Amino acid sequence: MTRTAFTARSTLFDTEHARLFDRVYTARGKDYAAEAGAVAQHIRAHRPDARSLLDVGCGTGEHLRSLKDIFPDVEGLDLTPAMREQATSKLPGVPIHDGDMSDFALGRTFDAVICLNSSIAFLPLPGLTSAIACMARHLNPGGVLVVEPWYSPERATDGTVVGDIVRGDDGVTVARVSHGVLRDGRHHLETHFIVADADGIRHCTDDQVMGVYRREDYLAAFAGAGCDAEYWEEGLAGRGLFVAVRR
């Protein structure tokens, strides 16, 4: 059995985690197609004629698989090579850019920009503000920016424990357990994976730090980026959702 440790940001979601990501979250009941449909409804409510969309922090591209059937012009952006590789393999012909969400420039604008899976919370607060400003700069006037946050201070729980066992039809079994603690306004999440397949059993860990930011922090960032934002309490997965329109 081998053990490999990974730190947040620098090696976030290496090849092993990218391969496990869809397997684990789909088994936990995450419905990417339903979430993509809900996001599209929010976009259409403000921009009925929206045709182009950028998914920032697109990960393995699961949301884009559905969104490309709704919007004829879609692109993705992610910082992690392993995630981009997964997305590119699923989405032939869809541009998947290498970029940091807090500082990227694609040379074009879109009718909608989205950032889901609480990806923005990996950034420190100044980076969150920069990311929202950067995403807003990639919007057409009247374009829609959709951001899924991490839990707010009122909803974040200290000492959380989550566990899953996933058995695939291909014989691969994954046991995942995580423990989260609140410290200095951040949610520190330690996750362990045990993976068993035909090659044997291996163990890896993933340490992530998520910003537990106030709703006011997000709203201030949207306002500073020239966007009028509203907040939906439940959002896609119980963490809330911000929907903003660029003035």
Nearest Cα residue to 173 out of 195, 155, 157, 206 = 195
Are 175 and 228 within one domain?
no
Are 67 and 146 within one domain?
yes
Taking phi first (over 0 means left), then psi (-120 to 50 degrees means alpha), and beta for anything else, what does residue 184 get?
A: left
pLDDT tens, position by position, for the chain (247 residues)?
233 332 333 344 566 777 788 888 888 888 999 999 999 999 999 999 999 999 999 999 999 999 999 999 999 999 999 999 999 999 999 999 999 999 999 999 999 999 999 999 999 999 999 999 999 999 999 999 999 999 999 999 999 999 999 998 888 999 999 999 999 999 999 999 999 999 999 988 888 999 999 999 999 999 999 999 999 998 999 999 999 999 9
Q: How large is the angle between the packed helices 215-224 and 125-137, nearest 10 degrees? A: 40
Determine the pLDDT at residue 8: 32
Are 105 and 120 within one domain?
yes
Please state the length of the chain. 247
Are 147 and 223 within one domain?
yes
In contact, 133 and 101? CB cutoff 8 Å: no
Domain that holds residue 201: 3-9+157-211
Q: How many helices (H) and strands (E) does the chain have?
A: 6, 12
Are 240 and 200 within one domain?
no
| Alpha-carbon distance values, 81 to 10, 92, 118, 144, 241 (Å) | 12, 16, 19, 27, 27
Determine the pLDDT at residue 14: 67
CATH number of domain containing 66 = 3.40.50.150
Are 87 and 117 within one domain?
yes
Are 47 and 84 within one domain?
yes
Are 167 and 242 within one domain?
no
Nearest Cα residue to 134 out of 62, 54, 213 = 54
Are 55 and 115 within one domain?
yes
Establish if 106 belongs to a structural domain.
yes
Dist CA 175 CA 178 (whole Å): 10
Contact partners, residue 68, CB within 8 Å, separation at least 6: 74, 91, 94
**Residue 89 parent element (H or E):** helix 81-90
In contact, 217 and 128? CB cutoff 8 Å: yes
